Chain A
Amino acid sequence: MALQSLDIAKRSATTTEPPQARKTPQVAKLIDVSQCIGCKACQVACMQWNDLRDEVGNCAGTYDNPRDLTDQSWTVMRYAEVETDRGLEWLIRKDGCMHCEDPGCLKACPSPGAIVKYSNGIVDFHQENCIGCGYCVTGCPFNVPRISKKDSKAYKCTLCSDRVAVGLEPACVKVCPTGCISFGSKEDMQERADERVAELKERGFTNAGLYDPAGVGGTHVMYVLHHADKPGLYSGLPADPAISPTVSLWKGVTKPLAMAGIAAAALGGLFHYVMKGPNDVSKEIEAEVDKELEGEK
Chain B
Amino acid sequence: MIRDPSDLQRYTASERANHWVVGICFILLGLSGLALFHPALFPLTYLFGGGTWTRILHPFIGVVMMLFFVVMFFRFQHLNRMTDTDWQWVRRAREMVNGDDHNMPIQGKYNGGQKLLFWFLALAMVVLFASGIVIWRAYFSAYFGIGTIRLAALLHAGFATLMIIAIIVHVYAAIWVRGTIRAMLYGTVTRAWAKQHHRAWYRQMTGK
Which A residues have a C-beta under 8 Å from some C-beta of B? 13-15, 110-112, 129, 131-135, 137-138, 143, 147, 152, 244, 246-247, 249-250, 254-255, 257-259, 261-262, 265-266, 269, 272-273, 276-282, 285-286, 288-289, 292-293
CB contacts between A and B, total, < 8 Å: 135
> A residues within 8 A CB of B176?
269, 272-273, 278-279
> Within the assembled complex, what's the spacing in Å between the Cα atoms of A197 and B56?
49
Determine which residue in A111, A247, A249 has the highest number of CB atoms from chain B within 10 A of its CB, and name it.
Answer: A111
Closest to B202 in A: A289
> A residues within 8 A CB of B38?
255, 258-259
Besides A110-B39, A250-B150, A281-B193, 15 more A-B contacts (Cβ < 8 Å) are A132-B138, A147-B137, A246-B153, A247-B153, A254-B161, A257-B161, A258-B38, A259-B40, A261-B161, A261-B165, A262-B168, A276-B97, A278-B178, A280-B179, A285-B195
> B residues within 8 A CB of A279?
96, 99, 101, 176-178
B39 is contacted by which of A13, A246, A254, A293 (Cβ under 8 Å)? A13
> A residues within 8 A CB of B149?
137-138
With both chains docked as a complex, state the minimum distance between the C-beta of A238 and any C-beta of chain B, in angstroms: 12
Contact flags (1/0) for B38-59 with A, using CB distance below 8 Å?
A: 1110100100001110111000
B154 pairs with A249, CB closer than 8 A: yes
> A residues within 8 A CB of B135?
134, 138
> Within the assembled complex, what's the spacing in Å between the Cα atoms of A30 and B157?
38
A276 pairs with B98, CB closer than 8 A: yes
With both chains docked as a complex, state the minimum distance between the C-beta of A247 and any C-beta of chain B, in angstroms: 6
> B residues within 8 A CB of A289?
190-192, 195
B37 pairs with A258, CB closer than 8 A: yes
B6 pairs with A281, CB closer than 8 A: no
Instruction: Give the total of B residues in contact with A, Cβ under 8 Å.
Output: 51
> A residues within 8 A CB of B193?
281
Closest to B171 in A: A269
With both chains docked as a complex, state the minimum distance between the C-beta of B146 and any C-beta of chain A, in angstroms: 7
Tell me the dominant secondary structure on chain A's binding face.
helix
Q: B93 at interface (Cβ–Cβ under 8 A)?
A: no
A131 pairs with B54, CB closer than 8 A: yes
A110 is contacted by which of B42, B98, B178 (Cβ under 8 Å)? B42
> A residues within 8 A CB of B137?
132-134, 137, 147
> Within the assembled complex, what's the spacing in Å between the Cα atoms of A249 and B176?
35
Q: B196 at interface (Cβ–Cβ under 8 A)?
A: yes
> Within the assembled complex, what's the spacing in Å between the Cα atoms of A81 and B141?
30
> A residues within 8 A CB of B175?
269, 273, 278
> Within the assembled complex, what's the spacing in Å between the Cα atoms of A137 and B141?
10
> A residues within 8 A CB of B150?
138, 244, 246-247, 250
> B residues within 8 A CB of A262?
161, 164-165, 168
Q: B169 at interface (Cβ–Cβ under 8 A)?
A: yes
> Within the assembled complex, what's the spacing in Å between the Cα atoms of A279 and B180?
10
> A residues within 8 A CB of B179?
280-281
B168 is contacted by which of A266, A278, A286 (Cβ under 8 Å)? A266
Contact flags (1/0) for B179-194 with A, using CB distance below 8 Å?
A: 1000000000011110
With both chains docked as a complex, state the minimum distance between the C-beta of B98 and any C-beta of chain A, in angstroms: 7
> Within the assembled complex, what's the spacing in Å between the Cα atoms of A135 and B55?
11
Top-9 shortest CB links A-B: A134-B137, A269-B172, A131-B51, A258-B161, A13-B39, A246-B150, A265-B168, A110-B36, A250-B154
Closest to A286 in B: B192
Closest to B191 in A: A289
> A residues within 8 A CB of B172?
265, 269, 272-273
Closest to B58 in A: A133
> A residues within 8 A CB of B165?
261-262, 265
Q: What are 21 A-B contacts with C-beta separation under 8 Å?
A: A111-B51, A132-B55, A133-B55, A133-B137, A134-B135, A246-B153, A250-B153, A250-B157, A257-B161, A258-B38, A265-B172, A266-B168, A269-B175, A272-B97, A273-B176, A277-B99, A281-B178, A281-B192, A288-B192, A288-B195, A292-B208
Q: B151 at interface (Cβ–Cβ under 8 A)?
A: yes
Known contacts A246-B150, A279-B176, A15 near B161 by CB under 8 Å: no
Known contacts A110-B37, A133-B36, A152 near B153 by CB under 8 Å: no
Closest to B189 in A: A281
With both chains docked as a complex, state the minimum distance between the C-beta of A162 and any C-beta of chain B, in angstroms: 24
B37 pairs with A255, CB closer than 8 A: yes
> B residues within 8 A CB of A258?
37-38, 157-158, 161
